[in-house]
Amino acid sequence: MLWLITDVDTEFDCVRFSGKPRYTGDPGLTEGVPHLLEFFDKFGLKATFHIQEQSDPEQSILLRYPQVYDSVQKSGQEISVHVHTKEADYETRKFEITAAVNRLREQGYDILTFKAGWYFSNESTIEILEELGIKYDCSPLKNSVVGSVRWYDMPDSPYNPSYNDITKIGNAKILMIPITNTRLGITVHENRYYEPELMRRGTEALAAVAEEMSEPVILYFTTHSWKPIETDGSGFRDWEVERRNEFFSFLSNYKVESLTVSEAGKRWQESNYKPYFLNLPDLLGTYRSIFNPLRHFWLVKNVLSRLYTVKYYISGEP
């Protein structure tokens, strides 16, 4: 079985520029979201929109752009909560996440899914999400390091984490659904000549593994509300739109079941599937220069990622 999860980090465009907007307004929200909804409808895809909410009303999409929620809900796609916070401590994260979830629930939105801004989740986060009744967290970005968390040795499948180490299997109630596409290159990231081939190779690798598994294998495609928009806000990025269309046209050659995050999580739990680890190729590294450290996965995983966590402890920035 091959499950497809498609999601959209739906956030203020200033996040794209590290908090410093380069243009007035949020075309990612006003133009990007309707464009993506139309795209998903064209291909018959289910999608989860992780929509940014913060305690600050000025950073609330619900209060500033309520039409985003209206359009996503009308389309039948899933609404999830997306909170950005660089602070790792329990109290700060509880304040931000609780304010966001409560604001949505007060307006009648039944929120079951969470995704951390910058993929910055931790042990405090899962405790808070459980207190709020959130069931699914798709923050883990496999084969990356964010803050003090090294997302390398985690499963390649959904799993219940440990309260002591979020990357390990444990007894927490919340289900982590990791994003496993990073080293496989299944993402529209930059206008690189090799990306279409890389995305096809990544899909082929997952499909081949899925044929041998009794549990479902998840192909995760993630994007952002602002990604289809030019960096100067002048219109759509033709290459990004073309590449996304090309990829999903290619994907139609495979038997793939499209699910929202909560649908995949519920099916996983009801079927009592067990977490697993996969031996997947480092396809992205093969397109790097031999002199680029990112080409050498062992070096990145075992040395550079650990140096990054040291940098985090010194600077406090994820």
Per-residue tokens: 144: 């990356």
Residues 6 or more apart whose CB falls under 8 angstroms from that of 259 comprise 3, 4, 5, 46, 267
Residues 6 or more apart whose CB falls under 8 angstroms from that of 89 comprise 124
pLDDT tens-place values along the chain, 318 residues long = 999 999 999 999 999 887 777 777 899 999 999 999 999 999 999 999 999 999 999 999 999 999 999 999 999 999 999 999 988 899 999 999 999 999 999 999 999 999 999 899 999 999 999 999 999 999 999 999 988 899 999 999 999 999 999 999 999 999 999 998 888 999 888 889 999 999 999 999 999 999 999 999 999 999 999 999 998 888 999 999 999 999 999 999 999 999 999 999 999 999 999 999 999 999 999 998 898 888 888 888 888 888 878 767 676 666
What pLDDT, on the 0 to 100 scale, is given for residue 316? 66
Domain ranges for the chain: 2-281
CA dihedral 104, 108, 112, 117 (to 10 degrees): -20
Neighbours of 312 (CB within 10 A): 17
Topology at the third CATH level for domain 2-281: TIM Barrel (3.20.20)
**3-state helix, strand and coil shares in percent for the chain, rounded to the nearest 5:** 40, 15, 40
What pLDDT, on the 0 to 100 scale, is given for residue 182? 84
What pLDDT, on the 0 to 100 scale, is given for residue 307? 85
Per-residue tokens: 116: 């951390």
Coil, strand, or helix at residue 203?
Answer: helix
Distances (CA, A) of 93 to 126, 157, 194, 263: 10, 26, 39, 26
Closest CA to 305 of 183, 177, 123: 183
| Residues listed for the chain | 318
